[in-house]
Copies of this chain bind each other. A is one copy, B any other.
Amino acid sequence: DPGADNDLYINQAIVFIEDAIQYRSINHRVDSKSLWLYRWYYSRTCQWILGLTITIILALAFVEKPSSLTITSDVRYRLPAWNPPCGLTESVELLCFLVFVVDVSVKSYLIGWEEFWKNKWLMAYILTLIVSLTDWIVSLSFFCTENVRIRRILRPFFLLQNSSMMKKTLKSINSTLPEMASVVLLLAVHLSLFTMFAMLLFARTKDGQQDKEWMGYFRNLPDSLTSLLVLLTTANNPDVMIPAYSKNRAYSIFFILFTVLGNLFLMNLLTAIIYNQFRGYLLKSVQSSLFRRRLGIRAAFEVLSSLKETPANAQQSYVSAGALLRVLQKVEMDSRCKQAIMRSLKTCSCDQLSASQFQKLFEELDKDAIKQHPPSPEYQSHFMQKMQFAFGHSYFGYLGNVVALANIVSICVVLVMDADKQPSERDDFFLGAINCFFILYYLLEMLLKILAMGLKRYLSYPSNRFDGLLTVILLVLEIATFAVYGFPHPGWRPEFLGLLSLWDMVRLVNMLIVFRFLRIIPNMKFMALVVTTLLDLVKNLRAFAGILVVVFYAFAITGIMLFKGAVVPIGNYYLSRRNVILWLSFLFGNFQAEVVYCVLYILSVNLICRWAKIYFVAWWLISSVIWVNLFVALLLENFIHKWDRRCHREPLSDIEYQRTVELMFRDVLEEPTEEELMEKLHQHPHLQLCR
């Protein structure tokens, strides 16, 4: 039936083009029903539901039994957290699991059985679901009183498997592991040799008077190891060396040698290794995205060229413009792009498209949306034109910056003057009057700019939107203040009224004013460069951040399970003080945020203390050492690339916030050759090409 065949080809072309737009793989089933299922699965609604399910199942940890949804983290003051009844969170969980079961079945069906057996991620997905469901049944049959819930540690896997970027990143990290392991081994050797040295050097002396160092830090092997490990994070420096140093200055050589070798050389060696591995990472990932896009377009061309309506041509295959138009109308894509492609299809005025012409049409997809700001209004009156010139000029913007700076300085002066005053002595009049004046200026500035530029043009600049929004909020707050507390006058110290006290209102206004000051950023070239690079970085870091969330989550849940009910003694010092306590205490139900020294508990909870040590060392290695280094590597990569570009060509006057990673690398990307594309197409497991 040629009509049905033609419909199938059209549908295939639609799906392939959508794959190309979304950088998806085209290796899925291509019969009519599967195509319908595929489009349904990748429709916005379905993907949104899947995302929501993942969010819900991850967020369950906040309300589940050892929950930490309390305002204060201090165990002495906080009220007992709300405990959901047994079965409530469990039924939500079951719903989520059902969604995942549907998800994994559809996915497995769509890629086909042969592919399924090769796909380890899908297998792991199914395994995770089976384990989770079993654990869920066990949990319900114990009426939620069981201690260990394996499924909670497995949860972040659902986040991981749903993002192809994260899977790719994980693969990259995985390939770096052997070299990282070598450095960690080196660190271990370094640590153990120095520990032995330390134990011999700071041994117990016979007189027992001067062995403070031995008492405090090198009493036995685990203590010595811990002391030096913590010294590696520089958290207990210089405390650890003070007793020895005050006995004999020469002892400092030992500590300096240890720190220089360990912290300066070996730790930075890790940075170097990771940077070296990730140097090409971004480029490679963008390159493979490009390949997927070109492949999808080429596949669409190939299926369209097998349409019966095209004349059989032995030498080259062609696609009729009409068929492409029909496909385009059904493809879901950015309307601007679609219109641009249709326009160039019409201007081309060719009836038959060759492969390269076809490919060229879709290059519109790679192009950046060039943002056209709407025109300013044209005034007839001469006075208005002058006004427009004056207030549309960039100097007016600079004046606004100067006024914002003056406001900041005035707030600062008042804060310094009020610093040592009692709250009752404080006169809120001065700050109130100043703010009133400045907010009026901001309002005026906004109105004049809108007058000069027209509302549409004004709103088309992100800096103006930021500015305008904050001005409106400030205005609303100020009006609310006046409505509740009346106009400012000397000795303006009214009683508490309404939601917030006057002092709180003023503080809030001031904070917003400080925040509004950030509008100066685009005016400073270097700052603008830094900020745009940071924004780019945030985009590129999403996959890493996702993996970090996965690791955090798993660690937090493990921590809850390990240290359940016990006040956690966290090592003789706060190991890797940077953020461990901070981040973990977000999720830990009964984690005391105030630092409790292990020493106090060493007798009663010795076992837990040792577990805690291992736990925190693992945490420090992963979060502080590996992740921070990954971050530094990516930052180096991004910045250096950006700088090189900046040197090559002058920056545009207007900073374009729309810049994507693909565009950043456009100059260095390689277009895939026709042979590569066709070879890949012929390897497609479900698509049989005629030729």
Contact = CB atoms under 8 A, between A and B. Distances in A.
Interface of A: 68, 70-74, 77, 179, 182-183, 186, 189, 193, 196-197, 199-201, 203-206, 208, 219-221, 234, 237-238, 241-242, 245-250, 252, 255-256, 259, 264-265, 268-269, 271-273, 275-276, 279, 408, 411-412, 415-416, 419-420, 422-424, 501, 503, 507, 510-511, 514, 517-518, 526-527, 530, 534, 574, 577-579, 581-582, 585-586, 593-595, 628, 631-632, 635-636, 639-640, 643
A255 B578 CA distance: 11
Given A256-B582, A593-B246, A221 B636 contact: no
Nearest to A208: B423
B74 A594 contact: no
Number of copies of this protein chain within its complex: 2
Given A74-B246, A577-B234, A201 B643 contact: no
Given A242-B594, A246-B593, A530-B186, A200 B582 contact: no
Given A72-B246, A241-B582, A640-B272, A514 B200 contact: yes
A582 B258 CA distance: 14
Contact of A272 (B73, B581, B635): B635
B196 A577 contact: no
A175 to B, nearest CB: 14
Nearest to A526: B182
A316 B200 CA distance: 72
Contact of A578 (B237, B408, B510): B237
A194 to B, nearest CB: 9
B199 A511 contact: no
B415 A238 contact: no
Please list the 6 inter-chain residue pairs (A to B) with the smallest Cβ-Cβ separation, ordered nearest first.
A74-B246, A220-B419, A272-B639, A182-B526, A206-B423, A200-B507
Contacts of A640: 272, 275-276, 279
A394 B518 CA distance: 67
B419 A197 contact: no
Contact of A203 (B197, B424, B507): B507
A544 to B, nearest CB: 12
Contact of A639 (B269, B527, B586): B269
Contacts of A511: 197, 200-201
B246 A415 contact: no
Contacts of A579: 237-238, 256, 259
A466 to B, nearest CB: 15
Contacts of A424: 206
B72 A578 contact: no
Contacts of A183: 530
Contact of A415 (B199, B242, B422): B199
A596 to B, nearest CB: 12
28 contacts: A71-B250, A72-B246, A77-B246, A193-B517, A193-B518, A196-B514, A200-B415, A200-B514, A206-B423, A219-B420, A220-B420, A237-B577, A237-B578, A237-B579, A238-B577, A238-B581, A238-B582, A242-B594, A245-B582, A246-B593, A264-B628, A265-B534, A268-B631, A269-B530, A269-B635, A271-B636, A276-B640, A276-B643
Contacts of A269: 530, 635, 639
Contacts of A74: 246-247
A275 B635 CA distance: 12
Given A276-B639, A276-B640, A416 B72 contact: no
A193 B237 CA distance: 30
Contact of A593 (B245, B272, B423, B635): B245
Contacts of A220: 416, 419-420
Nearest to A179: B526
B593 A242 contact: yes
A623 B478 CA distance: 47
A644 B242 CA distance: 43
A183 B527 CA distance: 9
Nearest to A203: B507
A420 B219 CA distance: 8
Contacts of A199: 415, 419
A511 B507 CA distance: 62
Contacts of A534: 265
Contacts of A186: 526-527, 530
Contact of A246 (B201, B245, B594): B594
Nearest to A223: B419
Nearest to A205: B423
Contacts of A643: 276
Contacts of A527: 186, 189
A247 B72 contact: yes
Nearest to A419: B220
B249 A71 contact: yes
A333 to B, nearest CB: 35
Contacts of A526: 179, 182, 186
A643 to B, nearest CB: 6
A68 B221 CA distance: 34
Contacts of A574: 238
A631 B579 CA distance: 25
Given A237-B577, A264-B628, A628-B264, A248 B72 contact: yes
A603 to B, nearest CB: 15
A420 B222 CA distance: 12
A141 B559 CA distance: 71
Contact of A411 (B196, B252, B271): B196
A518 B197 CA distance: 13
Contact of A219 (B204, B238, B419, B530): B419
Contacts of A221: 412, 415-416, 419
Nearest to A266: B530
